[in-house]
Amino acid sequence: MKISFVLPTVGMSGGIKVVAIYAKMLADKGHEVVLVSPPPKQLSFFRKVKSLLKGRGWPKVNVEASHLDGLGLNHIVLETYRPATDKDFPDADVIIASWWETAEWVNALSQTKGAKVYFIQHHEVFDFLPIERAAATYRLPLHKIVIAKWLLDVMKNTYGDHTVDIVPNSVDRLQFHAEQREKQSAPTVGFLFAYADFKGVDVTLAAIKKLKESMPNLRVISFGSFPPDNFPQWDDAIEFQLSPAQDKIKALYAQCDVWITASRTEGFNLPAMEAMACRTPIVSTKAGWPMESIISYENGVLTDVNDVTAIADGAKWILSLSQDGWKQLSKNAYETLADSSWEHSAMLFENALHHAISRQSEREI
């Protein structure tokens, strides 16, 4: 197949990571893959002048590292941030939008650019977006591929689309793995840092603060793509690593006795899966993949969104287990992923693309 992906500005987000994995695996299978994305948005002239007047100098837009780097893929970056149009793509068998704005662009393309697919990794109706426009993209006549059952249900029940393919994410066992181990000598928790409100880092930090009341020797590990300097609840005692190399992340997961994820909403939550692949039990809110896979007190702990006390209590329960009890929980977390592989997911994704092409030929999309 000739396959085009239409991306937003690329970076180190989980969504870009998933697209990069599929694009690489499809290319390795012999498909012709092209990826198109805009560069970062330029600051307005007013904001540049404001920065200059405040003594910060004339700002520059830095090009961020991305999960596409070093994969040898045909990635075309537009000359400026603008909608992608027909002239930006070769004729193809299938063209894939990867978030709400790119769905608008793909919908406007000619049929020669391929069967139109909407790869949905979250229900993107957030306050920081034009919600009505974003929601309208789920009603466009595009073939939908979703990554989780809850998104399948939203597409059916909210948007009336009953012809949706589900392709669950997986985890790279070569990258994320760990030997069997015992608990750390000092109780250790970890979490992913992000500024986005829906990631619930404020809730995580509140739960950790509560946990420290009964476990003053608690060690806390975190990593993220941005420094936490301006996060109001940040605790300087947290051992933070900025943008660690991908091959170093498994060691961070494996240093933890419990991984906390307190998202208010998630499309999937890859870090939760990665932590479990590294034999680290998780405490998670009911958001994304964990609510489909975690059974409380069997392979982790599941809590309600924004429930600081429940998150702290769940982490305390895990940290208070005996060595044998913790090792069993760790084993259960690891075995939750026994049937998961990117190879299987890539096969499902490839099948979903053929489904889209078939639907286009039958004029269903």
Q: What is the pLDDT of residue 119?
A: 98
| Sheet with strand 115-120: strands edge to edge | 74-77, 32-37, 2-6, 94-97, 115-120, 143-146, 164-166
Specify the pLDDT at position 339: 87
Please tell me the predicted confidence (pLDDT) of residue 243: 94
Which 8-state DSSP code applies to residue 255? T
Q: What is the mean pLDDT of the chain?
A: 94
What would the pLDDT profile of 92-128 be if each residue is shown by its tens digit?
A: 999 999 999 999 999 999 999 999 999 999 999 998 8
- Mean pLDDT in residue range 321-339: 97
The residues, any chain, with a CB within 8 Å of residue 32's CB and separated by 6 or more, are 1, 2, 3, 92
Interval 236-263: pLDDT, tens: 999 999 999 989 999 999 999 999 999 9
- Identify whether the C-beta of residue 143 lies closer than 8 Å to the C-beta of residue 359: yes
Report the alpha-carbon angle 125-126-127, nearest 5. Answer: 130
Q: Classify residue 42 by its DSSP letter.
A: P
What six digits make up the tokens of 288?
Answer: 């994304």
CATH number for 2-170+342-361 (one of 3.40.47.10, 3.40.50.300, 3.40.50.2000, 2.40.30.10): it is 3.40.50.2000
The residues of the chain that CATH labels 3.40.50.2000 are: 2-170+342-361, 188-335
The third-level CATH classification (topology) of the domain covering 188-335 is Rossmann fold (3.40.50)
Dist CA 189 CA 173 (whole Å): 22
Question: Distance (Å, rounded) from C-alpha 272 to C-alpha 14?
Answer: 12
Provide mean pLDDT across the span 263-272.
Answer: 96
| Segment 131-142, tens digit of pLDDT | 999 999 999 999
Which pLDDT score, from 0 to 100, does residue 64 have?
Answer: 76
Residue range 22-39, pLDDT digits in tens: 999 999 999 999 999 999
Per the listing, tokens 């990554």 go with 147
Q: Is it the case that residue 90 has pLDDT exceeding 80?
A: yes
